[in-house]
């Protein structure tokens, strides 16, 4: 049973436009959400996070939106750049010490110059 | 942040053999995590490695198949035993940047192909 879902395995966006990556979760106990980016032959790197007490968190070109009632979050990248081309993993956890992080299957983003 | 080095970065292995992956962190950490990413799939936690005690395994993973060592606060090994083609995956070592927030730092991964 997949607790974190990313229903789009891939996404292509023109450079300069907005990229929107979506994520759904099923476990209502999750209260902290993270996005990771992964380039080929590298480990995932932390990108941005959001606590369940917020509905938006922004960091430069990256904004994460959380809709708790819908159990849905999204990552917006504006403007998209070719260097953003990577696999993006949505992840979730309960905010208790050392509780494990559950990852979604990932969305492969291609930003076309 | 933490700098994590993994060895080997990749290997091709024969069915029935075992391979040990090493993970070195540039700072002392309480817990180290081992993940697996099978082809086209997500990252799945195999086990949590605690220094001075036995590793804690997730459902579906057992110590006989994935023995883990944690001899000190900067080093851990994961062994993939009696390998089969289904074990072909990327194995990732990680440490927690914030225990309460779940931010993890990952090594570059070890890509194993089992023939």
The answer to whether A40 contacts chain B (CB < 8 Å) is no
Question: Among all chains, which residue has been given the structure tokens 């990577």?
Answer: A86
Is B31:B94 a contact under the CB 8 Å cutoff? no
- Rounded to 5, what percent of chain A is helix, strand, coil? 5, 55, 45
Contacts of B61 in chain A (CB under 8 A): none
In terms of CA atoms, which chain A residue is nearest residue B5? A43
Buried b (16+ CB within 10 A) or exposed e, B3-22: ebebeeeeeebeeeeebebb
User: Predicted confidence band at B93 (pLDDT cuts at 50, 70, 90)?
Assistant: very high
- Mutation test of the interface with chain A: which of B43, B97, B112, choosing the one with the most A Cβ atoms within 10 A? B43
Tell whether A95 lies on the interface with B, counting CB pairs under 8 A.
Answer: yes
Cβ–Cβ of B48/A104 closer than 8 Å?
no
CA B57 to chain centre: 11
Determine the pLDDT at residue B53. Answer: 83
- A82: three-class secondary structure by DSSP: helix
Note the pLDDT tens digit of each residue in B45-92. Answer: 999 998 888 899 999 999 999 999 999 999 999 999 999 999 999 999
Interval A51-105: pLDDT, tens = 999 999 999 999 999 999 999 999 999 999 999 999 999 999 887 656 688 899 9
Q: What is the pLDDT of residues B102-112, one digit of tens each?
A: 688 999 999 99
Q: What is the pLDDT of residue A97?
A: 56
Q: Are A103 and B105 in contact (CB < 8 Å)?
A: no
Rounded distance, CA B18 to CA B56, Å? Answer: 21
């Amino acid at each position: 049973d997949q607790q974190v879902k990313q229903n789009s395995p891939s996404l292509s966006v023109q450079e300069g436009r907005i990229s929107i990556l979506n994520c759904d979760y099923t476990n209502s106990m999750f209260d902290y959400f993270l996005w990771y980016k992964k380039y080929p032959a590298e480990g995932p790197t932390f990108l941005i996070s959001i606590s369940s007490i917020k509905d938006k968190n922004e960091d430069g070109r990256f904004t994460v939106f959380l809709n708790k009632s819908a159990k849905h979050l999204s990552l917006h990248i504006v403007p998209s750049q070719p260097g953003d081309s990577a696999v993006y993993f949505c992840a979730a956890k309960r905010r208790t010490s050392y509780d494990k992080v559950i990852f979604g299957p990932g969305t492969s983003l291609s930003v076309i110059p | 942040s933490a700098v994590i080095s993994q060895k080997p970065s990749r290997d091709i292995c024969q069915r029935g053999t075992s391979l040990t992956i090493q993970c070195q962190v540039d700072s002392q950490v309480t817990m180290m995590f081992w993940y697996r990413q099978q082809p086209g799939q997500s990252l799945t936690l195999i086990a949590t490695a605690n220094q001075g005690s036995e590793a804690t395994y997730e459902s579906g993973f057992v110590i006989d198949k994935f023995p883990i060592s944690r001899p000190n606060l900067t080093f851990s090994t994961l062994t993939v035993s009696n390998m089969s083609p289904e074990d072909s995956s990327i194995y990732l070592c990680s440490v927690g940047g914030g225990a309460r927030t779940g931010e993890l730092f990952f090594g570059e991964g070890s890509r194993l192909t089992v023939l």
